[in-house]
Structure 1
Amino acid sequence: MKKLLLLVFALMPVISFAQGFQVNLEGEKQIGMGHTGTGLVQDGASVFFNPGAVAMLPQNYVQGGISPLLFKSTFNPQGTNVEDHTANKIATPFTFYAAWGPKDSFWKLGLGVYTPFGGLADWGDNWQGKYVLESLNLKAIYIQPTLSIKLADFLSVGGGFVYNRGSVDLTQAIPLTNSAGQDGQAELKGTGKGYGWNAGIYIVTEAGITVGITHRSEVNTTINNGTALFTVPSSLSAQFPQPNTFSSSIPLPATTSIGFGFYPTKQWTLALDVNMIGWDVYKVLAFNYGTVEPAGLQNTVEQRDYQDAFSFRGGAQYKTNKNLAIRFGGGYATTAVEDGFVSPEAPDANRAFVTGGLGYTFANHLDLDVSFEYEHVMSRDQTNIQTQLAGTFETNVYIPGISLAYHW
Structure 2
Amino acid sequence: MKSKFLAFLGSALLSASIATAGGYQVNLQGQKQIGMGHVGTGLVLDQSSIFFNPGALAHLRQNGIQLGVSALTSKIAYRSLSPGISEARTDNPMGTPFQAYASYGAEESPWRFGIGVYTPYGSTVNWGNYWQGRFGLNELSLQAIYIQPTVSYRISDRFGVGAGLIISTGSVNLQRSIPLQNAFGEEGHIELDGKSKTALGFNVGVYARPIDKLSLGLTYRSKVDATVEAGDVTFRIPGAAPVAAQFTATEFDATLPLPDNITLGIGFMPTERLTIGADIQRVGWGAYKALRFDFNGIVGGQDHTEAQRNYKDSYIYRLGVQYKVNEMLTVRAGGYLDKTPVRSGYLTPETPDADSRSVSGGLTLALSEKIDLDLSFSYINKKERTDLSDKSSGVPGTYKAVAYIPGLAVNYKF
Same fold (TM over 0.5): yes
8 Å Cα contact 2:90/2:128 also seen in 1: yes
User: 2:126: which partner in 1?
Assistant: 122
Q: Is 1:239 matched up with 2:254?
A: no
Alignment of 1:149-298 (within 5 A): 149-192=153-196, 193-206=198-211, 208-235=213-240, 236-241=243-248, 244-292=250-298, 296-298=301-303
Give the counterpart letter for 1:287 in structure 2. F
* 1:2-46 CA distance string (max 9 Å, x none): xx4x33443232443445210010000000011000000011100
| Aligned partner of residue 270 in structure 2, secondary structure | coil
User: 2:398: which partner in 1?
Assistant: 392
Structure 1 Cα separation of the partners of residues 74 and 331 of structure 2:
26
8 Å Cα contact 2:92/2:124 also seen in 1: no
Shift of 1:48: 0.1
| Aligned partner of residue 298 in structure 2, secondary structure | coil
Seen in structure 2, the aligned counterparts of structure 1 residues 265 and 17 have a Cα distance that, compared at 3 Å, is: farther
8 Å Cα contact 1:366/1:406 also seen in 2: yes
* 1:106-154 CA distance string (max 9 Å, x none): 0100101001122321000111110111110112210000000011111
Alignment of 1:100-111 (within 5 A): 100-111=104-115
Q: Is 1:78 matched up with 2:81?
A: yes
| Aligned partner of residue 58 in structure 2, secondary structure | helix
| Aligned partner of residue 90 in structure 1, secondary structure | coil
User: 1:12: which partner in 2?
Assistant: 8
User: 2:379: which partner in 1?
Assistant: 374
User: 1:21: which partner in 2?
Assistant: 24
8 Å Cα contact 1:178/1:232 also seen in 2: no
| Aligned partner of residue 113 in structure 2, secondary structure | strand
User: 2:18: which partner in 1?
Assistant: none
Structure 1 Cα separation of the partners of residues 179 and 343 of structure 2:
27
What's the TM-score once normalised by structure 1's chain length? 0.96
1:47 to 42, 47, 50: 50
Q: Is 1:61 matched up with 2:58?
A: no
| Aligned partner of residue 376 in structure 2, secondary structure | strand
Q: Is 1:36 matched up with 2:39?
A: yes
8 Å Cα contact 1:11/1:132 also seen in 2: no
| Aligned partner of residue 3 in structure 2, secondary structure | helix
What's the TM-score once normalised by structure 2's chain length? 0.94
Structure 1 Cα separation of the partners of residues 9 and 123 of structure 2:
12
Give the counterpart letter for 2:245 in structure 1. A
Q: Is 1:325 matched up with 2:330?
A: yes
Structure 1 Cα separation of the partners of residues 284 and 121 of structure 2:
14
Shift of 1:179: 2.2
Q: Is 1:142 matched up with 2:155?
A: no
* 1:26-73 CA distance string (max 9 Å, x none): 000000011000000011100000000000000011111111111100
Structure 1 Cα separation of the partners of residues 392 and 318 of structure 2:
34
Structure 2 Cα separation of the partners of residues 335 and 385 of structure 1:
17
Structure 1 Cα separation of the partners of residues 127 and 101 of structure 2:
34
8 Å Cα contact 2:7/2:306 also seen in 1: no
Give the counterpart letter for 2:57 in structure 1. V
Shift of 1:276: 0.2
Shift of 1:346: 1.6
Paired residue total: 402
Structure 1 Cα separation of the partners of residues 155 and 392 of structure 2:
53
Q: Percent identity?
A: 40
| Aligned partner of residue 16 in structure 1, secondary structure | helix
User: 2:20: which partner in 1?
Assistant: none
Give the counterpart letter for 1:204 in structure 2. R
Give the counterpart letter for 2:172 in structure 1. V
Structure 1 Cα separation of the partners of residues 395 and 92 of structure 2:
23
| Aligned partner of residue 52 in structure 1, secondary structure | helix
Structure 1, unaligned stretches of length 5 or more? Answer: none
| Aligned partner of residue 201 in structure 1, secondary structure | strand
Give the counterpart letter for 1:56 in structure 2. H
Structure 1 Cα separation of the partners of residues 254 and 92 of structure 2:
30
8 Å Cα contact 1:323/1:362 also seen in 2: yes
Structure 2 Cα separation of the partners of residues 88 and 24 of structure 1:
19
Shift of 1:305: 0.8
Seen in structure 2, the aligned counterparts of structure 1 residues 386 and 40 have a Cα distance that, compared at 3 Å, is: closer
Shift of 1:285: 1.3
Structure 1 Cα separation of the partners of residues 160 and 350 of structure 2:
40
